[in-house]
A = this chain, B = another copy of it.
Amino acid sequence: MDKYGLRIKEIRERMVEDEIDMYLIDDADPYCSEYVDGYYKLRTYISGFTGSNGKLLITKDGAYLWTDGRYFTQAKIELKSNAKLMEMGREGVPTLQDFIVDKGGSLGFDEDNINSKLIASIMDKAGAKGVNITVFSGLKYAREIVNKEEKVILNPKEVRILGDDLVDLTAKKKVERVREYIKKKNGDIYISAKLDMNMFLTNLRGNDIKFNPVAFSYVVITTDDAYLYLYPESYKDNRDEIIKYLSDNGIKLLNMNNFKEEISIICNGRKVIASLDSISFGLWESLVKNADAKYIPEDNELETFKAIKGEKEIGHMKKIYLKDSVILTKFIYKLLHSNIETMDEYDAMVMLDDMRLEDEDCYDLSFNTISAYGANAAMMHYECTKDNKADLQRKGMYLVDSGGQYNGGTTDVTRTIRLGDCTDDMIRHYTKTAMGMLRLQNSVFMKDSLGVNLDILSRMPLWEEGIDYKCGTGHGIGYMLNVHEGPHYISQKIRNTSQVSPIVPGMIVSDEPGVYLEGEYGIRIENILLCVEKQKNMGDTFYKFEPLTLVPLDGSLIDKKYMNSDDVKYYDEYQQLVFDALSPYLDAEEISWLKDYIKA
């Protein structure tokens, strides 16, 4: 039995002691963040499975791990015989909720490690089936094993204030906007556990989750007061500055370690607006169970407020995207002029990351660079490592999906680059992918249009080939914040209607169709688009997109015979736009290369 088997065994012994039938572990933080700090990776620690999605359920005589199709192969390797893989979506595999309800009995977990919505859905199912599930939320078995063995500690980093030159609205104005929302929703208090929302509202930035400039925090706004909860470590060396800044904006700084206790008191008997999706069971208990508060679900209004960038912010982003585009274009030039045969995916990644981080405004990457050659590019979320990487060759295609955190914006861009001989299929698929990306980029749409209305523009050229990409077409992007943000998105699927937001001027969205042929090759082309107004006519308002990304498409992978006359126009115009924008920042050799590179 390896260390993971022993850890599961130890948890099971504690379950027997406490008479608990099932124990649930996740990699989740109390803020329900998309990415979490290592401190919160309890499921990884106990099971050995490192994927970004996975829930471990330990029973008296078994252990089960639920994950999705991206991770089936990896999970089988990492789990060994310690836990049974439950392949989500596969026929005959029950959901975690159904599995728990079918077993029935007592369910234990660490309340800071489990989303309240998950527990609510289990209890709903149990109720409908007349099954009795008793919840024990204070059982910190996994955390106690970590503490005993390695004592991983939480290490909050210092927060910093965004200068007035970087943002359009002061924190004070944003708090006022939240108060309008509270009034409109007929509530008393707004509570946010969403770290990017907390950073947005306070105009602070942290460094507590890799690639995400956020600080562990809660924001609480009432009709009269506003509180920001931070760990004392977050303002150890700039305490006075932070307190004064917050106080100038009408916000009181409070100690995170007192949050749970204080929030129960603050909320007691009041109407609390919060997002159930983004709070842990522990916070949920503090809010509702202990506080006897009335809960009002948060809708997408403040997420929309966050997603609509201001004029100043858009100005900064345009500069930063141009800068980032210059860097990526110089990287493509450098790569194609390198001795490719001696390089691997990791070398290429380091080359690009270094080029980006050399920039004075770039202080971090916005996510782990995806540097994928050949068949590896068919894995949408491939990550090469020092030990696991493919050599580059002078044939086929190389895909690079990357971005940076800059003072002035968060970037994200994907290009697929021809390294040598390519098949006709590759060229046709690249051309169709480019057509899809360009059709969405050149679309015109009316006020109130949703991502589900637009998605087909990017996707149909590939559907005509009998190919679908198994992901959405686009996600929102934060301003000096997380590279993924809502509430808008571009996809075929209708999510919860109350959370569906129209795409409106000031929003930023990615446009990234692709082709993923397992074992063969992958193509993705991703531009970031800014929604702007196009025209008003007869009482209607129409919008369009402006590309922020200005990186050339690979002309040698384009065959115009697959394009209609609009596609050709879009292609030629975009390549010319890119050429004109980049030339001032390129040297003579690069310009000469680019002239050739953009030609189809």
Residues of A at the B interface (CB closer than 8 Å) are 443-446, 448-450, 452-457, 460, 463-464, 466-468, 492, 494, 497, 500, 535-538, 540, 542, 564-567
Contact = CB atoms under 8 A, between A and B. Distances in A.
Across the A-B interface, the 7 shortest Cβ-Cβ residue pairs: A466-B537, A564-B566, A565-B565, A564-B565, A444-B463, A564-B564, A444-B464
A450 B491 CA distance: 12
B564 A466 contact: no
A454 B454 CA distance: 9
B456 A454 contact: yes
Contacts of A467: 537-538, 540
Contacts of A468: 446, 540
Number of copies: 2
A512 to B, nearest CB: 18
23 contacts: A443-B456, A444-B460, A445-B463, A446-B468, A450-B452, A450-B492, A450-B494, A452-B452, A452-B453, A452-B494, A453-B453, A457-B460, A466-B535, A466-B536, A466-B538, A466-B542, A467-B537, A467-B538, A468-B540, A494-B500, A497-B497, A564-B567, A565-B565
Contact of A449 (B450, B492, B497): B492
DSSP class of A's interface residues: helix, strand, loop or mixed?
A: mixed
Nearest to A445: B463
Contacts of A446: 463, 468, 492
Contacts of A538: 466-467
Given A497-B497, A566-B564, A492 B448 contact: yes
A420 B443 CA distance: 34
Contacts of A542: 463, 466
Given A444-B464, A457-B460, 14 more contacts: A444-B460, A445-B456, A445-B460, A446-B468, A446-B492, A449-B456, A449-B492, A450-B494, A452-B452, A453-B456, A456-B456, A466-B536, A564-B564, A565-B565
A564 B570 CA distance: 12
A295 to B, nearest CB: 15
A445 B459 CA distance: 9
A517 B566 CA distance: 27
A565 B464 CA distance: 16
Contacts of A456: 443, 445, 449, 453-454, 456-457
A535 B466 CA distance: 7
Contacts of A444: 460, 463-464
A491 to B, nearest CB: 9
A130 to B, nearest CB: 13
Q: Which of A454, A468, A536 has the most CB of B within 10 A?
A: A468
